Amino acid sequence: MEYGTIFIILACVFGLFMAWGVGANDVANAMATSVGSKALTIKQAIIIAAIFEFLGAYLAGGQVTATIRKGMMDTSLLADNPELLVYGMLSSLLAAGIWLLIATRAGWPVSTTHSIVGAIVGFAAVGIGVDAVNWGKVGTIAMSWVVSPVLAGVASYALFRSVQRLIFDADKPFQASKKYVPYYIFLVGFIIALVTLFKGLKHVGLELTTIEAYGAAFIIGVISMFVGKFFINKLKFDPGADQNYHFTNVEKVFGVLMMFTASAMAFAHGSNDVANAVGPLAAVVSIVQSGGQVAQESAMPAWILLLGGFGIVAGLIMYGKKVIATVGSNITELTPSRGFAATLAAASVVVFASGTGLPISTTHTLVGAVLGVGMARGIAAVNMNVVRTIFMSWIITLPAGAVLSIMIFFMLKGIFS
């Protein structure tokens, strides 16, 4: 291809911009419950996110990438003009990046998955033809937008009710929290380890049988539990603290738990959402390197995952505060125990989806989970105005991505052909 090097450079720049947007908007979601519940300061949240997002993207980011690439459109129609696919992937990355920047400025937690899916569908339908889009696949993804917040909402509601029953309704809540919280920590370690072992280590070259994976996940869960127990035992009961808010001491115990769930959420998020930034980038690189062949699948070079991980962390550090405020403080008032229920529920749903290859939206899942926790305390605990604005921004995201992508597609086509 005559402009091969230029295309790869553009893909890297646009991919980095898109990853930056994922960090600024989406990772902020992943950390919002921890910051909003005051379990972590914003600085601690950024450090945890940086480490675990990066690990998630690098170790477990390979699985979902295939879904975004292969499933959305019929690439075989482009065998004769591969440059159209290059323009399309470049315009999708830039369009999604621009929309994320606009949304983040407004403090809207929108879905990076929708942004990129909308962009790809937009250019494919207009630039290639309506038949090029795999509408069945788009339908499945659209369904997951309803399913993921509902699943997460139900799970977080159930989790928070279990916390209320076992701990807050106990005669001695502080003692009860010291007794039960380690089991919740075990659950976090077990779930996240299981997914990583099943899905994430394929391209590191580690293949485990099902029994080995369950065994290893169980051990990791137990280790997390003992580490958590160690930190919990260092907490001192402060009788004076409970005067204003009856459960201040209990919430301290949940603060320890939030460290684990925040790490888990960041890992789950990195594994699921790095695909949005690096999928189209990998497509461009594979087309250029193969001299214009459009492969249905392309291997994910390690440097591309590294670039994605780096962009995500940079976006979070530079611009993540606005969305953290929306999800962490404005939907419903969060305490560490509520934040824990929301985060663990969301992480479990994301991890389950990542394992089945369903490109769900972490944003929708998390907002659904925060709503579920709010509902557990009654509808009055939820700020419906904020929820309405968030839902509206979700609906606009797909068409916004599509329109921007179509415009950029024709510009690129005009410049290069």
In a domain, 297, yes or no: yes
Quick one: tokens of 365? 């899942």
Q: What is the pLDDT of residues 100-121, one digit of tens each?
A: 999 999 888 888 888 888 898 9
In a domain, 352, yes or no: no
In a domain, 171, yes or no: no
pLDDT, residue 58, reads: 76
pLDDT, residue 100, reads: 93
pLDDT, residue 77, reads: 73
In a domain, 410, yes or no: yes
> What secondary structure letter does DSSP report for 293?
-
pLDDT, residue 222, reads: 94
Q: How many residues does the chain have?
A: 417
Domain of residue 56 covers 4-158+262-343+359-416
User: How high is the mean pLDDT in each 10-residue block of the chain (417 residues)?
Assistant: 85 93 82 82 84 79 57 73 86 94 89 86 87 83 81 91 89 86 88 70 65 88 90 78 70 82 80 77 82 66 82 85 77 84 84 71 85 82 85 88 94 89
Q: Please state the domain count of the chain.
A: 1
Q: How far apart are CA 402 and CA 379, in angstroms?
A: 35
pTM of the model as a whole: 0.82
pLDDT, residue 153, reads: 92
In a domain, 75, yes or no: yes
Q: What is the pLDDT of residues 57-88, one digit of tens each?
A: 777 666 555 555 556 777 777 777 888 888 98
In a domain, 83, yes or no: yes
Quick one: tokens of 270? 């990195």
pLDDT, residue 258, reads: 83
In a domain, 177, yes or no: no
pLDDT, residue 400, reads: 93
In a domain, 63, yes or no: yes
Angstrom distances, CA of residue 379 to CA of 29, 90, 371: 22, 43, 9
pLDDT, residue 405, reads: 95
pLDDT, residue 158, reads: 92
Q: How far apart are CA 93 and CA 97, in angstroms?
A: 6
Longest dimension (CA), the chain: 75
> DSSP states of 206-247 as a string?
----HHHHHHHHHHHHHHHHHHHHHHHHTPPP-GGGGTTSTT
